[in-house]
Amino acid sequence: MAKPFTFTDANFNQEILNSNIPVLVDFWAEWCGPCRMIGPIVEELAGEYEGKVKVGKVDVDVNPQISMQFNIRSIPTLLVFKGGQIVDQVIGAVPKQHLKRVLDAQLV
């Protein structure tokens, strides 16, 4: 089963903006309770969508540049990129089915 990528200030552009498949990015922090709740769901999605969607996480405390670039003010925030552009956004801990609908909409 695939694990989520770890996106950083250093690899963000290469891994996300230049990806030829949709990308789900989970902006999170270790101290954030809702982030810890949604973390296992993000891990499951990484396996379920392997090869179809690149799934990864950005620790906002370690990678402040990306967080500022995308104006992340609340975590967890999940951004969906397609063709290097943000196509959807989810803020807060949501059910897995909601995230699956968001991702499936980008696969049609």
User: Domain coordinates of the chain in residue numbers?
Assistant: 5-106
Tell me which CATH code domain 5-106 carries: 3.40.30.10
Residues in contact with 73: Cβ distance below 8 Å, sequence separation at least 6, in sequence order:
none
Q: Which two tokens stand for residue 18?
A: 């230049």
- DSSP structure class, residue 74: S
**Using CA atoms, how far apart are residues 10 and 99, in angstroms rounded to an integer?**
26
Helix then strand count (H, E) for the chain reads 4, 5
The predicted-structure confidence for 37-79, as pLDDT tens digits, reads as follows 999 999 999 999 999 999 999 999 999 999 999 999 999 999 9
pLDDT (0 to 100) of residue 82: 95
35 is catalytic: yes
**Using CA atoms, how far apart are residues 68 and 66, in angstroms rounded to an integer?**
5
**Using CA atoms, how far apart are residues 12 and 30, in angstroms rounded to an integer?**
20
45 is catalytic: no
Question: Which candidate in 24, 25, 32, 66 is catalytic?
Answer: 32
Residues in contact with 32: Cβ distance below 8 Å, sequence separation at least 6, in sequence order:
75, 76
Question: Which candidate in 25, 35, 75, 99 is catalytic?
Answer: 35
pLDDT (0 to 100) of residue 102: 97
The predicted-structure confidence for 8-39, as pLDDT tens digits, reads as follows 999 998 888 889 999 999 999 999 999 999 99
pLDDT (0 to 100) of residue 108: 82
Q: Is 57 helix (H, G, I), strand (E, B) or coil?
A: strand
